[in-house]
Each structure stands twice: as C-alpha cells, then as structure tokens.
Amino acid sequence: MHLKWLTLVCLPSWPSAWALYNQSTDFPDQDIDNGFALQQIANDSLGNMKLESLATNGCRFEDAQIRKEWRSLSLAARKEFTDAIVCLQSLPTNISAEEKETFQGVQTRYGEFVATHINLTEHIHVTADFLAWHRFFLYAFENALRFECNYTGTLPYWEWGLDAENPQSSVLFNGDPYSMGTNGVDMNRTSIYWESQNMSIPAGTGGGCVYGGPFSNYTVHMGPIDAPGEQPVQYNLEYNPRCLSRDVNPTISQMSVSFRNTTKLILSYDTIDWFQGVMQADQRFTDPTAPFSYGVHGGGHLTVGSVLADIDTSPAEPMFWLHHAQIDRVWTIWQGLDPAKRRNAIWGTSTRGDNPPSANMTLDDVLDFGFISQPLKFADLMNPLSGPFCYYYT
C-alpha cells in the first residue's frame, strides 16, 4: 500500500491561499512502516507552522518550547520529568473541605487532574472539543510540574510506532531510574472480558502491580470506572486506594499504533470529522479498510492497559501524559499540513458520540477545566503557537 502526500507551499498572500506542488510524494511501504514517511510529513507540517506564525499574533517560533520524544531526552531529563510527577503526586490538594465531600478520591494535587478528567469525561471524548480540551489539559499539567515542582523541561511524547511491535521491551518500561517504570506483574491471562463493551480483548503481558521504577510506590486513589476485567467503583469519585497496574499489550499495539496506523490517519482524512472520528474509533466513522479497530487513541490506552485502559481515570497513569502528547502531536501535524483549512476546523457536539443529543459546538463556546483552570474559549486552544500556548513538536 502506497500513500501519497502533496507538499504544501506558501503563496505570497499567506495565509489566505495555498499552492500545491505538481509532484506528490508516493511513499513506499517500507517508508510508511519504518516511520520515515511520518517524519517527512511532520517536517513539512512544522515548516508550514513556522510560516503561519509569521502572519499571526501568536508567539515567535524562535521563542517556542520544544516537546521531544522520550528517547530524545537525556537520562537526566527523563529523571527530572518523573521526579516532578512524583512531586506533584505528593503535594496536598488545594480543594476545599466542602469540595472534598464530593471529590472524595482527591488526596493530592495530582489527583485534581484525575478528578477533573473523570468529572468531564462524557463531555471531552468523542466530542467536538476532544482534541482542544486535552491540548490545554496537557499544558496545564506541564505548567504544574514547572511552577509547583521546579521542572525545567517540556512535556515529552511517546512515539508509539517505535514500540508497536514489542512494547513490553520498550526503554519506557525497563524499570530503571530513567524509565516510566515497569510493566505490571504477569497475571498469565489469555483474554479479558470488558463488561461495558460486552466483548473480550486479548490480555497483555502483565496485569498486576508495577514493581519497579519511579512509580512502584505510587498509590492510585480513584477508579476503576470502566477498565477491562475490573470491577468498577460504585461512585466515580470515591476514594479507592490501589497500586498502579499495567498490562502492556503487543497484540493491541501491533494492530492499532504502528507507524502505518498513524501515517494513514494523517494522510487519508482531509476533514476533521473523519480525522478525529477514526482516531477515536467513533462508530459513526468506521473505515472498513482500516487495519485498526481501537483507533490510535484507544489503541494507545489499551497498549499500556489497566489504569490507562480506564479512559475516565486514565490520567492517574503517568503514561497518560506521554500518550496524549502524541495524540496532540498527531493533531498538530494534521493541522499544519493545511493550516488555512484545518487550523480552526471542528465538528461535533458536547456529548460523547452525541448521546444524548446536544447542540453542535462552535469556536465561541467556553470549555470547562474544573480544578485545573478558569474556563477558556474554544477558539483560543486551536493553535500550539497562539493563545496560551507557545510550543511545537520535533
């Protein structure tokens, strides 16, 4: 299978007009599967973003923070990142005693991020604001690490394609002081029944508690709510202390988060409805030719499994931030390939899968961020080089 990409170039009247090179890049299968094609289109996108920044009132490209793939960080930078997360997990919560009656599971400052995500889950997944809401959520977390725990770096991302064939052997999960910890203890399962989906999924290579690395002593305080093979709590925000568990799953990663999956997603869908729909495996946008049934979003969650597989509670898993930084990166690349048409493109309503039905969202809508921030206008969250943001990915 070959995928074609037309390189965009700026006309003098940018940003109102674009031209296309007459020649397209026809990527061979090898370049799609080894990540070369994805890197090339990412570079093209970044070049367009740099030009775009010259014509907007956003931050200067030269001043922007740079988010890098985990493996591009020095060992010291990796440890500084995980140390900052451990710090945030140990800071006391800022919520009031009255709020604590409702948000019983919020024990720490880190828990405020988890509870916010739980409380808003039905309005930030398979919705018009899924991508923009999570973009700011990541930014707020990055700032909390920076200003409350003295972190000097930027939020790293996880390039799934580098680990898709054998994620359990990834440097991310080798358990050394410079990793994100270990896999969970192997529970020796073959399949897991997911009650809410009325289906069984293949088991991963772990399933038990993380036993090494920076988060081996970390206590998850909320959930599970909708995790495969787990009994849900009675009240979504109740206090339920438990270990951080993982079930790293090569079967799911191979089918869902390969370089081919990501490259096909970016190049095959020109409109935001299909792009975000296929990304999330929204049943309204089923592509019968797509080799992935969970989408790269769900596929990444299920690749790590256990806590990350529980979408509601998933920020309790520190891998959430790397996974969703990659989601934001993929959206950023897609936007940057045609900024004039895609920068402010949104589609959908404010309820999950439009169930129950709700009004179409607009860029004038204001998004709720719970404990994390004051409400923010949708339109201000569309460009990583504008509004509150000043970053890009390499």
**Phi, psi dihedral angles at 121 (to 5 degrees):** -50, -45
Rounded distance between C-alpha atoms, residue 68 and residue 159, angstroms: 10
Domain ranges of the chain: 67-393
Give domain 67-393's CATH architecture.
Orthogonal Bundle (1.10)
CB-based contacts of 312: which residues, under 8 Å, 6+ apart?
117, 118, 121, 223, 225, 226, 236
Tokens 């895609």 label which residue?
A: 342
* 3-class secondary-structure state, position 370: coil
Whole-prediction pTM: 0.94
Q: ∠ CA(95), CA(96), CA(102), 5° rounding?
A: 85
Question: What is the b/e burial string over 10-38, where b = at least 16 CB atoms within 10 angstroms of the residue's CB?
Answer: beeebbeebeeeeeebebeeebbbebebb
Question: pLDDT by residue for the chain (394 residues), tens digit each?
Answer: 566 555 544 433 444 333 332 234 689 999 999 999 999 999 999 999 999 999 877 799 999 999 999 999 999 999 999 999 999 999 999 999 999 999 999 999 999 999 999 999 999 999 999 999 999 999 999 999 999 999 999 999 999 999 999 999 999 999 999 999 999 999 999 999 999 889 999 999 999 999 999 999 999 999 999 999 999 999 999 999 999 999 999 999 999 999 999 999 999 999 999 999 999 999 999 766 654 569 999 999 999 999 999 999 999 999 999 999 999 999 999 999 999 999 999 999 999 999 999 999 999 999 999 999 999 999 999 999 999 999 999 9
